Amino acid sequence: MTNPNVHPTLAAALDERGYDTLTTVQSAVVEEEAHGRDLVVSAKTGSGKTVAFGLAMAGQLIEGERVPWSHLPLGLVIAPTRELALQVGKELQWLYAKAGARIVTCVGGMDPMKERRALQGGAHIVVGTPGRLRDHLERGALDLSELRVVVLDEADEMLDMGFREELEEILDATPEGRRTLLFSATMPRPIQALAKRYQKDSLRIETIAQGESHADIAYQCVSVNPTDIEHAVVNLLRFHEAETAILFCATRDAVRRLHALLNERGFQVVALSGEHSQSERNNALQALRDGRARVCVATDVAARGIDLPSVGLVIHVELPRDPEALQHRSGRTGRAGRKGTAVLLVPFRRRRNVEALLRQAKITPEWIDPPLPEEIRSRDRARLLEQLTQPVEMDDDDRAFADQLMATLTPAEIAAALVRTLKTDLPAPEDILVSGGRDAPQRDAGPRPGFEGSTWFRINAGRRHRAEARWLLPLICRYGHLTRQDIGAIRIAASESYFEVAARSVPAFRKALSKAVIAPEDEGLMIDQTDGPPPADQGGDRPRGPRPHPMKNRPPIRKGPRKGPPRR
């Protein structure tokens, strides 16, 4: 490492880790103008921020070639989550090893008594989460009176998580002359207010150029029916076959449900949420690192502190709450110069909200349909062909076994057996009920093969209810226990809609309707049989404004067709 602004002891540690050059943010914090000053640093995830503030702290921590002996902490790093705090502790451990620094981590979920004993034994740098640090501070186990430098890592997330009170109590316990380094991917007003209160003559370092934070991430939006979200997740995982994928959900229950579904489908999957202990989290992350698992289902708590360069795919199964959450979730991929893909699953009715969210985040995504089974199988064939055409080294045993195979089976049989073996561990793709986004065409083409002698039915939702084929189709299939292959043409009239059911499926459809338990949101739903398709005159403009619920103020619910002749 030849940068003259890097302390020689730390430069030697960087050399051992294979660092040839510093990243943009690392170079910025060791410039002459930043030396000894309070810093407000805005840098994207995966840009080497931990090493950056490790380098920036050297002037306050190292005297000569080593950190001086001290019973009380000289440096403090505060991080929002356990995973991030533990990761920071590991990074600083190797960076300051030659300087003789003692690093102690204090995070929720670990044994507090063990942490107190470690603090009593002396620590040069303490790394911890706000809640646990405040607990040690209030119990007298953490004395910050000798502190020289404090770092707030991912400060915006700590404020979002409600840690303002803890941060203020910790910072108020530090000496007046300490140096304060504030690192954050975004700079909302609360961060600016925090900097104004606890920093003096701070230097603002902005390393994210316009659009740079998204340069290594390809954003895609998948328009999907809400009933098909889990199927879309399966197909996206199979379509991309990323080395590691992270799926983000909003709640623990959603994580638990999706984890169970993917595990049942045959994916190597782990889960991360607030209900898991620290040892369970560590085991899950280790499984991802060593390849025993390839998929992680997580809540936003895992959006910070997961540093896995192998993450090539992030799927927002449930939409992020704001642009900052979108950025931090998506930032788990596209790290350290690698390319990644972030996919948002967008229910049809949420498209406008998502478009507004993306505009705020300054992201221009590609809108696509969910991958269909045939597309996935085509990709599988291409991947298998690429895998089989790679050059291989053979020893004598391999050649002998190959000769035995050739003598026993034909080349076609050998190829078929090989393909079948390679495909054994691939979960089957799911059949997506509908595809297309807001501009998808209405299904109005029929009859088609297989629908000779079909029966037409009517549902009491039409154009004035904002009815569209893409949300009528799953509604019909759900209550009638059908698949999309059983439904032919769907035609929207002014106050009602018509659809045809294949002749083979009509008896089962009638039986399912007679036993259907209608959800409260579909109160007033009515489906009955008709003599045929609707009249030809079905024109007219769609009404404007918000779409009312299709079944409000409708006749009483009827769970099945009338007895006697069909309604005319």
User: pLDDT of 479-516, one tens digit each?
Assistant: 898 888 888 888 888 888 999 998 889 999 999 998 88
**Lookup result for tokens 């660092």:** 19
Least confident of 104-108, 174-178, 253-257, 395-399: 395-399
| pLDDT confidence tier of residue 421, bands split at 50, 70 and 90 | confident
Beta-carbon neighbour count of residue 511 at 10 Å?
Answer: 13
**Lookup result for tokens 């037409």:** 456
Are the CB atoms for 80 and 300 separated by under 8 Å? no
Full 3-state SS string of 335-359: CCCCCEEEEEEEEHHHHHHHHHHHH
Domains of the chain: 8-206 (3.40.50.300), 212-374 (3.40.50.300), 441-568 (3.30.70.330)
Can you tell me whether residue 527 is helix, strand or coil? Answer: strand
pLDDT at 401: 86
pLDDT at 80: 87
DSSP one-letter string for 280-339: HHHHHHHHHHTTS--EEEE-GGGGSS---TTEEEEEESS--SSHHHHHHHHTTSS-TT--
pLDDT at 122: 92
pLDDT of residue 413 exceeding 90: no
Burial environment of residue 392 by CB neighbours within 10 A (0 to 12, 13 to 18, 19 or more) = exposed
pLDDT at 386: 82
Choose between 130 and 385: higher pLDDT.
130
Percent of the chain with pLDDT strictly greater than 90: 40
Q: In Å, what is the CA distance from 429 to each residue of 229, 241, 255, 316, 531?
A: 13, 12, 21, 19, 38
* E strands present in 27-186: 39-42, 75-78, 103-106, 125-128, 149-153, 179-184
Burial environment of residue 257 by CB neighbours within 10 A (0 to 12, 13 to 18, 19 or more) = middle
Contacts 24+ apart (CB under 8 A), 140-145: 141/115, 141/116, 142/73, 142/106, 143/72, 143/73, 144/72, 144/73, 144/76, 144/170, 144/173, 144/174, 144/175, 145/72, 145/175
Helices and strands: H and E segment counts in the chain:
20, 18
What's the N-to-C CA distance of the chain in angstroms? 85
pLDDT tens by residue, 88-137: 999 999 999 999 999 999 998 788 999 999 999 999 999 999 999 999 99
| pLDDT confidence tier of residue 3, bands split at 50, 70 and 90 | confident
pLDDT tens by residue, 449-459: 667 788 999 99
pLDDT at 437: 39
Choose between 424 and 105: higher pLDDT.
105
Q: In Å, what is the CA distance from 10 to each residue of 13, 50, 205, 230?
A: 5, 13, 22, 48
Omega cis (within 30) before 566: no
477: Cα separation from own chain's centroid: 30
| pLDDT confidence tier of residue 171, bands split at 50, 70 and 90 | very high
pLDDT at 88: 93
Mean pLDDT of the chain: 83
pLDDT of residue 55 exceeding 80: yes
Beta-carbon neighbour count of residue 17 at 10 Å?
Answer: 11
Least confident of 113-122, 130-139, 331-340, 349-358: 331-340
Are the CB atoms for 228 and 376 separated by under 8 Å? no
pLDDT tens by residue, 223-251: 887 778 999 999 999 999 999 999 999 99
The token pair at 493 is: 């009239």
pLDDT tens by residue, 538-559: 443 443 444 444 444 333 334 4
The token pair at 95 is: 């960076």
pLDDT at 236: 96
pLDDT at 446: 43
pLDDT at 498: 92
Q: What is the largest CA-CA distance in the chain?
A: 97
Least confident of 283-292, 370-379, 428-437, 484-493: 428-437
pLDDT tens by residue, 29-53: 999 999 999 999 987 666 788 999 9
d(CA 270, CA 262): 10
pLDDT of residue 56 exceeding 90: yes
Pairing of strands 455-459, 497-501: antiparallel
Neighbouring-strand partners of residue 343? 220, 315
pLDDT of residue 447 exceeding 70: no
* E strands present in 137-226: 149-153, 179-184, 203-206, 217-224
User: What does pTM read for this prediction?
Assistant: 0.58
The token pair at 382 is: 């291409």
pLDDT at 162: 80
The dihedrals phi and psi of 163, each to the nearest 5 degrees, come to: -95, 15
The dihedrals phi and psi of 99, each to the nearest 5 degrees, come to: -85, -5
Are the CB atoms for 48 and 309 separated by under 8 Å? no
Q: CA triplet 416, 422, 426: central angle to 5 degrees?
A: 120
Helix axes 469-480, 506-515, angle to 10 degrees: 80
pLDDT tens by residue, 298-326: 998 765 666 677 899 999 999 998 888 88
| pLDDT confidence tier of residue 188, bands split at 50, 70 and 90 | confident
Are the CB atoms for 219 and 368 separated by under 8 Å? no
| pLDDT confidence tier of residue 151, bands split at 50, 70 and 90 | very high
Can you tell me whether residue 83 is helix, strand or coil? Answer: helix
The closest alpha carbon to 313, from 384, 239, 369, 263, belongs to: 239
Neighbouring-strand partners of residue 220? 343, 366
pLDDT of residue 186 exceeding 80: no
pLDDT at 59: 92
Are the CB atoms for 349 and 437 separated by under 8 Å? no
